Structure 1
Amino acid sequence: MMAPRWFEDGRLHLGLGIEDTFVPQSRPGEGARPAERAIDEYELTEHYERFAGDFELAAGVGAELLRWGVPWYRVAAEPGRWDWDWTDRAIDAQLTAGLRPVIDLLHYGTPLWLDAEFANPDYPHHVEEYAARFGERYGDRVFDYTPVNEPVIHALFSGEYGYWPPYLTGAEGFALIAANLARGFVRSQRALADRVGASATFVHVDAAMSFIGDDAAPEHREEADRLRHQVHLVEDLVTGRVDAGHPLLDRIAPAIPDRELQWFRDNAVQPDVMGVNYYPRHSTELFEAGVHHSGGFADPRPSVDRGTEGLREALAAFAARYGAPVMVTETCVTGSVEERIAWLDQSIALVERMRAEGAPVVGYTWWPLFDMYEWTWRHSANPRSDHLLTMGLHDLVESADGLLRVANPVADRYRAHSSRLAALAGS
């Protein structure tokens, strides 16, 4: 009889994340459109050089889990050539530090040689091969995987808003990218499961997105319904939940014919844990009567801070929809140390209340371990310091020796929560 997996032992598990967005494609400016730089958060934060120390910082504040991504575009810089040298050293350093990696296999970026990126018809096979090779190399010691981080954000930014490559727009673009992501998701999880075996744990992760305001007004009702349902579209596809009664069936029909919907149902993969990324100041968008918003960074809807109420609703909704334990896989506020500590305390207290009420919440992740740089850096010519987001347990401080990681009081408070929860588990 197998011992319980980590999420089955009855404890609340604390994690941290290191921001790992990779969009390596660049393009020149044209007309009113500014040039776009490639973005690699590991480069911007100097994680490539400082990874071992970063992992020690995470372990030092009491984190057990570390959500951490692999730069696919570097591992596979050319078709058919695989370079695992840096990843080998990083995985070894995480394990040496006593952390349990939860691997973000895909955190936005595709290799530069993959034309049309997520719209490439061969994308699902390429990402499947990448997953298989990762599982073959590390599956004897790395057991936790997120096949695709935030597929709804992938599909919105790359398929509806035209903000990231391949710059598709509209509902058709969203459906096309969502469908191809889902194909790759299923193939990746199956490839990993085949190679890691019964020890594999799959933490599916998506963004919590909700909408309030004038969403019931006639001019907004159809749009609001579409947005609410498409938040879950990729997860619904990969878990075999899209059938003749699905509310988005007509919209996705051009991208996913009936025979392929049957393929998704026949090959469905499930989350062992359903991860929810929730940011209180950004995860709830406001509809305004008479005002059209296309979404995305270029034209965002205003957001509403719903605090712990919004977090409770998101966790409960994902748990009910997918019938799996849930965890907070990303949360924080960008602000002062005092604001961050307040949200850390409030959000952990909310998770503990939900657990006491019987909700299947198994983990909590503060994101990120140290500060990061805003994605708008990609559309700017300004230095990285102009795009710093104060989010972490550690400040990023420019120095003659590069970016220093300087612990702030949020790190102390996180460590205090970790020690308290460990004491409760041992009592």
Structure 2
Amino acid sequence: MIPNTALSRRQALGGATLLAALAPTGAQAESRAKPRPASGQAAPFLWGVATAGHQVEGGNVGSDIWLLETVKPTVFAEPSGDACDAYHRYREDIGITADLGLNAWRMGVEWARIEPEPGLFSQAALDHYERIVDYALERGLAPFLTLHHFASPRWLAAQGGFEVMETADRYAAYAERVGKALGDRLAGAVTFNEPNVVQQVTWSPTGYDLDARTMAVFNAMLQSAARACGSDKFSTFLYGDMQTLHPTIMRAHALGVQALKAGPGRYPVGISLAMGDEQGVGEGNLAERKKSEVYEPWLRLAAEHGDFVGVQTYTRALVGPRGNLPPPPGAELTAAQYEFYPEALEATIAYAARVSGKPIYVTENGVAAHDDARRVAYIDRALDALARARKAGADVRGYFHWSLLDCYEWLHGYSRPFGLVAVDRETFVRTPKPSARRYAQRVAEAR
């Protein structure tokens, strides 16, 4: 059924009373449209799926990542193109999610669409995202928003991106616009998705370990993008100097939390982190050093600014005296070429909760697998790990499976299927997999 696009905000909220129970302690005045939960009513656990704007929407032509995908040379296997055409087919995706019996929907908004030129905000883009949020609520899904999921406006990258401290203020202005437009209907918001991911993936005592040819192509790609923008530089969230990027992102997060809290609505705001189960191997291993460098600065940031930590876990890492080790001989590897190890989630939840002192949402967890039976197995073992973490006392308030759809996986294009739902690359027809039904069954059993 096609929803009434003139649906009022109050009507949209009528079936979403769970949102009021999710407000963090000390939040500002209650949103005008959200009813309070009954006295003593516990906040409902959020069971959902995750998507990300650039990876599913298609046609994000104003973003820095789109440009990097299309310049020559490029390190991207293929361009995102139309992706899953979720920009137009979001009702179908929300419908699939609701039909699975879930109650939450993690979605992204794209900065490049909302602010296509510096200081020029698109009301049409904000209206589009409002329609998605309203339809999610109509279908009984609590919207959980991500404001930045790797992609930024290309004009920002041409001005130095997050290597320039002024970008923190630009991000805060963007967050303020998004919060004003959507805040009264949100169940939660993530300021940044995995700002530590490059550091996590490439961590070693000596830093990056890329061969000369790869570095040459990488640098040529950035130079080509800069020329395309008429600039002498091009710095993105993922591809820049981490020592310069991270202080700006941290300040942007803090300012973003303030901006969102100043707007309408009472909802938790946090940051999501790429987290692996770091297992030390051998005497003198560097597992604790790795955690202190890759995770703890961000967990301390989350403790000071925001209401929760979003844990995003896929596997473990073995860490020896010189840094990361390869998976053990004979270990099963996923289609993303890391170890199949769903049990990692138990350790990362416990660690994040202990260090930050904050509630936890599992904002991403899943597996790249061509054989869907392996996804079914991963779901079962990961949800068992989640249950153990909660039983041990971790304050976990939601779980979002990555991902609803087989979507664009950045450098690797469409070669790594993470979805519960297959997407035909030509027709965009969605086909739920057996793993979608298994996830729905596990959620029903957990309630």
TM-score interval (norm. to shorter): 0.7 to 0.9
Task: Render the CA deviation track for 1:99-143: whole Å, top value 9, x for unaligned.
Answer: 111110111111111111111221101100011111111222224
Contact 2:279 / 2:317 at 8 angstroms: preserved in 1?
A: yes
Partner residue, 1:70: 109
Q: CA separation of 1:304/1:285 partners in 2, compared to 1, >3 Å: closer, same or farther?
A: farther
TM-score w.r.t. length of structure 2:
0.71
Select 2:391's aligned residue among 336, 356, 360. 356
Residues 186-225 of structure 1 aligned to structure 2 (within 5 Å): 186-196=254-264, 199-212=266-279, 216-217=283-284, 221=286
- Partner SS, residue 25 of structure 1: helix
TM-score w.r.t. length of structure 1:
0.74
Give distance in 2, aligned partners of 1:407 and 1:149: 26
Give distance in 2, aligned partners of 1:411 and 1:302: 23
1:89 aligns with 2:141: no
Which runs of 5 or more structure 1 residues have no equivalent in the other structure? 241-267, 294-300, 378-383, 423-427
Q: CA separation of 1:35/1:319 partners in 2, compared to 1, >3 Å: closer, same or farther?
A: closer
Task: Render the CA deviation track for 1:345-373: whole Å, top value 9, x for unaligned.
Answer: 11112222332333322222211011113
Deviation, 1:225, is: 5.2
Select 1:166's aligned residue among 227, 232, 235. 235
Select 1:128's aligned residue among 150, 162, 172. 172
- Partner SS, residue 309 of structure 2: strand
1:274 aligns with 2:274: no
1:180 aligns with 2:229: no
Deviation, 1:5, is: 2.6
Partner residue, 1:394: 421
Contact 1:182 / 1:237 at 8 angstroms: preserved in 2?
A: no
Deviation, 1:36, is: 5.2
- Partner SS, residue 147 of structure 1: strand
1:47 aligns with 2:74: no
Report the AA paired with residue 175 of structure 1.
Answer: Q
- Partner SS, residue 439 of structure 2: helix
- Partner SS, residue 349 of structure 1: helix
Select 1:111's aligned residue among 145, 148, 153. 153
Deviation, 1:38, is: 9.1
Select 2:298's aligned residue among 230, 235, 238. 235
Deviation, 1:29, is: 6.6
Contact 1:14 / 1:365 at 8 angstroms: preserved in 2?
A: yes
Select 1:334's aligned residue among 361, 368, 387. 368
Deviation, 1:80, is: 1.8
- Partner SS, residue 45 of structure 1: coil
Give distance in 2, aligned partners of 1:304 and 1:147: 29
1:411 aligns with 2:436: yes
Give distance in 2, aligned partners of 1:375 and 1:236: 26
Partner residue, 1:265: none
Partner residue, 2:42: 9
Contact 1:372 / 1:388 at 8 angstroms: preserved in 2?
A: no
Deviation, 1:66, is: 1.3
Task: Render the CA deviation track for 1:32-72: whole Å, top value 9, x for unaligned.
Answer: x646589658x412111211111111111122111111011
Q: CA separation of 1:168/1:404 partners in 2, compared to 1, >3 Å: closer, same or farther?
A: closer
Residues 20-31 of structure 1 aligned to structure 2 (within 5 Å): 20-21=53-54, 23-26=65-68
- Partner SS, residue 388 of structure 1: coil
Q: CA separation of 1:291/1:312 partners in 2, compared to 1, >3 Å: closer, same or farther?
A: closer
Q: CA separation of 1:193/1:349 partners in 2, compared to 1, >3 Å: closer, same or farther?
A: same
Give distance in 1, aligned partners of 2:238 and 2:376: 39
- Partner SS, residue 193 of structure 2: coil
Which runs of 5 or more structure 2 residues have no equivalent in the other structure? 1-18, 25-40, 55-62, 209-214, 223-233, 327-335
Deviation, 1:314, is: 0.7
Give distance in 2, aligned partners of 1:105 and 1:414: 26
Q: CA separation of 1:357/1:28 partners in 2, compared to 1, >3 Å: closer, same or farther?
A: closer
Give distance in 2, aligned partners of 1:357 and 1:193: 31
1:373 aligns with 2:417: no
CA RMSD across the alignment: 3.5
Percent identity of paired positions between Structure 1 and Structure 2: 23
1:102 aligns with 2:144: yes
Contact 2:275 / 2:313 at 8 angstroms: preserved in 1?
A: yes
Select 1:18's aligned residue among 51, 69, 81. 51
Contact 1:65 / 1:102 at 8 angstroms: preserved in 2?
A: yes
Contact 2:46 / 2:399 at 8 angstroms: preserved in 1?
A: yes
Q: CA separation of 1:148/1:28 partners in 2, compared to 1, >3 Å: closer, same or farther?
A: closer
Deviation, 1:214, is: 5.4
Contact 1:61 / 1:418 at 8 angstroms: preserved in 2?
A: no
Deviation, 1:420, is: 2.1
Partner residue, 2:359: 325
Report the AA paired with residue 374 of structure 1.
Answer: E
Give distance in 1, aligned partners of 2:402 and 2:431: 16
Give distance in 1, aligned partners of 2:421 and 2:273: 25
Q: CA separation of 1:158/1:112 partners in 2, compared to 1, >3 Å: closer, same or farther?
A: farther
- Partner SS, residue 191 of structure 1: helix
- Partner SS, residue 145 of structure 1: strand
Give distance in 2, aligned partners of 1:407 and 1:189: 36
Deviation, 1:388, is: 3.2
Task: Render the CA deviation track for 1:384-412: whole Å, top value 9, x for unaligned.
Answer: 6xx3322221111234xx21110111111
Q: CA separation of 1:64/1:122 partners in 2, compared to 1, >3 Å: closer, same or farther?
A: same
Partner residue, 2:197: 153
Deviation, 1:226, is: 4.7
Give distance in 2, aligned partners of 1:78 and 1:70: 16
Give distance in 1, aligned partners of 2:323 and 2:361: 37
